[in-house]
């Protein structure tokens, strides 16, 4: 599929949240990157701490890798985000505690829980 698409024209293959993939899918993807020389931009997002996949495992010289690490929000920034989303300084302490203790500093999760 990837090979056929790359023959048609510019191809960007995006995998979001690779850390949610099962181990065999990650192994197949690693194999594709290491064994195929395809004119494709692979864009991958993942939480490396939750996944056995790192850019240094891509040994194919055809591809270059760039890792951009995004840090989780601190508990203070998570609370600030909740107040901003709710447009209020009067955010229930239980919600702020939940955001701080259970959402791991992930802005996406913080937004979802703050606006429910």
Q: With 70 as the cut, is the pLDDT of residue 110 above it?
A: no
Please state, in angstroms and rounded to a whole number, the distance separating the CA atoms of residues 68 and 88: 33
**More reliable by pLDDT, 113 or 87:** 87
For 1-114, strand residue ranges (E) read 11-15, 40-44
Beta bridge partners of 40: 11
pLDDT in tens, 37-91: 888 888 888 877 777 777 777 888 888 877 777 777 888 888 888 888 888 888 8
Please list, in sequence order, all residues whose beta carbon lies within 8 angstroms of the beta carbon of residue 91, skipping any fewer than 6 positions away: 79, 82, 83, 114
- Can you give the pTM of this predicted structure? 0.60
């Amino acid at each position: 599929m990837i090979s056929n698409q790359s023959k048609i024209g510019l191809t960007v293959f995006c995998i979001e949240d690779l850390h949610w993939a099962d181990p065999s899918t990650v192994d197949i993807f690693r194999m594709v990157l290491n064994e195929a020389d395809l004119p494709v931009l692979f864009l991958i997002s993942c939480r490396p701490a939750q996944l056995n996949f790192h850019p240094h495992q891509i040994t194919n010289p055809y591809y270059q890798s760039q890792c951009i690490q995004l840090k989780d929000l601190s508990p203070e920034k998570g609370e600030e985000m909740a107040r901003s989303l709710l447009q209020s300084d009067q955010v229930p302490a239980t919600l702020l505690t939940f955001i701080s203790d259970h959402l791991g500093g992930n802005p996406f999760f913080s937004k979802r829980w703050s606006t429910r």
